[in-house]
C-alpha cells in the first residue's frame, strides 16, 4: 500500500527453512508428527495430574501449568509453519505477524517466570520441609502462577505496542519460519532504538533476573543436599531436581542467546528458534515423566483403571 511517496508493507513473507519442494514435504511430515506428539504428551500429562489425587501438590500444580503453556506455545508456532511448508505464497499479514510476536513473547516470558517459581517451590520443599505445605498453600501457588501469566502478558503487550509504532516500507522478507521480534525489527524503516532497548531490557530483567532466582534456589538446594548424611536422601533430592535443571538449561540456553544477539537470519538462529519453540515443548513432558517415578506410577494407575470404565 502506498501513502504519498512511502510504500507501507501490509504483509510479510516468511522465507522458512528450505526452498526445495522435496525437503519441504519431508519437513512437513516431520513437524506434523512432532506437533501431534507435543500436544499428546502435554495434554496427557495434564490429564494425569488432574486425575490422580497423589499429584495434587504444589510441584505438579506448577507442572500442569507448564504443560499447558508448552502446548499453547507449540500451537502458536507450528500450525503456521506447517501451512507455509505446503503453500506457494508464504505470507503473513501485518496483524497476523504482530499477533504471533505478541503470543511468542507472552509464552516465553510466562515460562521463564514459571520455571523460576518451580525452582522456588523445590527450594521450599528441600530446605524448609516442615513449613513447606504452609508456605506453599493453594493461595500462594495460585498467586505465583497468576503473577507469571501477568508478567508474560505485560511484557508482550509493551514490546508489541512499541513494534506497532514502527514504519515498514520494504523489503518484507523475514529470514525465519516464524514472526519474532529480532528479524522483524530489521525490516523497520524508522528508528527502532526504543523497541531494541525495550526487548533487551525485557530479556535482561526476565532472563537474567529469573536466572538469578534459579541459581540461588538450586545453590541452597545443593548445599542442603550435601549436608544430608544419607546417600539415599541426597539421591532423591538430586533426582527430583535434575529434570527441572535440564529443562531450564535447554530453555535459557537457546532463548536468551536468540534474543540477546543481533538478528542476521543465520542458520544458527533458525536452529535456536526451533530449539525453544518446537523441540523444548516436545521434550519437557518426556523429561519430567521419564525421570519422575510419581508421574509414571500415576500414569500406570490411570491406565489400570481404564478397562473398568463404562459408558
pLDDT in tens, 35-86: 999 999 999 889 888 887 888 889 889 999 999 999 999 999 999 999 988 8
- CA atoms of 63 and 46, how far apart (whole Å): 8
Round the CA-based radius of gyration of the chain to a whole number and report it. 22
- At which residue does the C-alpha cell 550435601 appear? 226
For the chain, domain boundaries: 11-298
Class of domain 11-298: mainly alpha
Q: Which residues pair with 173 in a beta bridge?
A: 13
Q: Is the pTM here over 0.75, yes or no?
A: yes
Q: Which of the listed ranges 113-122, 238-247, 268-277 does the model predict with the highest average pLDDT?
A: 113-122
Q: What is the largest CA-CA distance in the chain?
A: 77
pLDDT digits (tens, 9 = 90+) for 195-226: 888 888 888 888 778 878 888 888 888 888 77
Rounded to 5°, the CA angle 159-212-152 comes to 25
Q: How far is CA 40 from the centre of its chain?
A: 17
Amino acid at each position: 500500500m502506498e501513502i504519498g511517496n512511502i510504500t507501507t508493507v501490509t504483509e510479510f513473507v516468511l522465507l522458512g527453512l528450505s526452498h526445495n519442494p522435496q525437503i519441504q514435504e519431508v519437513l512437513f511430515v516431520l513437524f506434523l508428527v512432532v506437533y501431534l506428539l507435543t500436544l499428546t504428551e502435554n495434554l496427557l500429562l495434564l490429564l494425569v495430574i488432574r486425575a490422580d489425587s497423589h499429584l495434587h501438590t504444589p510441584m505438579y500444580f506448577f507442572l500442569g501449568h507448564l504443560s499447558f503453556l508448552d502446548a499453547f506455545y507449540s500451537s502458536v508456532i507450528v500450525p503456521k509453519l506447517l501451512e507455509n511448508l505446503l503453500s506457494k505464497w508464504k505470507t503473513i499479514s501485518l496483524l497476523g505477524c504482530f499477533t504471533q510476536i505478541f503470543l511468542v513473547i507472552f509464552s516465553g516470558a510466562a515460562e521463564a517466570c514459571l520455571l523460576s517459581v518451580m525452582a522456588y517451590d523445590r527450594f521450599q520443599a528441600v530446605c524448609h520441609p516442615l513449613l513447606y505445605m504452609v508456605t506453599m498453600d493453594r493461595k500462594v501457588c495460585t498467586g505465583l502462577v497468576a503473577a507469571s501469566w501477568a508478567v508474560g502478558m505485560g511484557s508482550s503487550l509493551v514490546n508489541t505496542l512499541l513494534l506497532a509504532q514502527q514504519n515498514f516500507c520494504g523489503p518484507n522478507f523475514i529470514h525465519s519460519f516464524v514472526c519474532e521480534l529480532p528479524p522483524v525489527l530489521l525490516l523497520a524503516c524508522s528508528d527502532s532504538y526504543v523497541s531494541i532497548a525495550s526487548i533487551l531490557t525485557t530479556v535482561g530483567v526476565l532472563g537474567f533476573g529469573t536466572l538469578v532466582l534459579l541459581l540461588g534456589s538450586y545453590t541452597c538446594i545443593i548445599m542442603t543436599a550435601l549436608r544430608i548424611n544419607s546417600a539415599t536422601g541426597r539421591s532423591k533430592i538430586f533426582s527430583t531436581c535434575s529434570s527441572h535443571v535440564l529443562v531450564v538449561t535447554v530453555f535459557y540456553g537457546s532463548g536468551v542467546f536468540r534474543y540477546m544477539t543481533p538478528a542476521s537470519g543465520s542458520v544458527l538462529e533458525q536452529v535456536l528458534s526451533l530449539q525453544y519453540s518446537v523441540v523444548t515443548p516436545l521434550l519437557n513432558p518426556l523429561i519430567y515423566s521419564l525421570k519422575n517415578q510419581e508421574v509414571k506410577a500415576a500414569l500406570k494407575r490411570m491406565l489400570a483403571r481404564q478397562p473398568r470404565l463404562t459408558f
